[in-house]
Amino acid sequence: MHDSAEASVQPTVEMLASVANPPVPADLEVRTVLITLPPGSAGSPPHRHPGPAFGYVLSGEVIIELEGEPERVVKAGEAFWEPGGDLIHYSGANNLPDAETSYVVTLLGTAGQPVLTPVGAEELEERRDRRASKPR
15 occurs within a structural domain: no
Q: Which residues, at least 6 apart from 119, have a Cβ–Cβ distance to it below 8 Å?
A: 45, 46, 47, 48, 88
Partners of 108 in beta bridges: 30
Average pLDDT of the residues in 8-30:
85
109 occurs within a structural domain: no
87 occurs within a structural domain: yes
Q: What is the pLDDT, as a whole number, of residue 58?
A: 98
Across the chain, the runs of DSSP E, i.e. the strands, are 28-37, 47-48, 53-59, 61-66, 72-75, 79-82, 89-94, 101-110, 117-118
Q: What is the pLDDT, as a whole number, of residue 136?
A: 55
19 occurs within a structural domain: no
Q: What is the pLDDT, as a whole number, of residue 26?
A: 76
Name the residue range of residue 74's domain.
34-100
CATH code of the domain in which 59 resides: 2.60.120.10
44 occurs within a structural domain: yes
123 occurs within a structural domain: no
Residue 21 has pLDDT above 90, yes or no: no
90 occurs within a structural domain: yes
Q: Which residues, at least 6 apart from 111, have a Cβ–Cβ distance to it below 8 Å?
A: 27, 28, 29
Q: What is the pLDDT, as a whole number, of residue 122?
A: 97
For residues 93 and 18, give the distance between their C-alpha atoms in angstroms, rounded to a whole number: 24
Compute the radius of gyration of the chain from its Cα atoms.
18
- What phi-psi label fits residue 9: left (phi over 0), alpha (psi between -120 and 50 degrees) or beta? beta
Q: What pLDDT digit, counting tens, does each position of 37-69 carry?
A: 999 999 999 999 989 999 999 999 999 999 999
What is the count of structural domains for the chain? Answer: 1
- What phi-psi label fits residue 21: left (phi over 0), alpha (psi between -120 and 50 degrees) or beta? left
Task: Find how far residue 52's CA is from the centre of its chain.
Answer: 9
Phi/psi at 110 (5° precision): -75, 135
Residue 104 has pLDDT above 80, yes or no: yes
Residue 8 has pLDDT above 60, yes or no: yes
127 occurs within a structural domain: no
Instruction: With residue 4 as reference, give the H or E element that holds it.
Output: helix 4-8
Phi/psi at 128 (5° precision): -60, -30
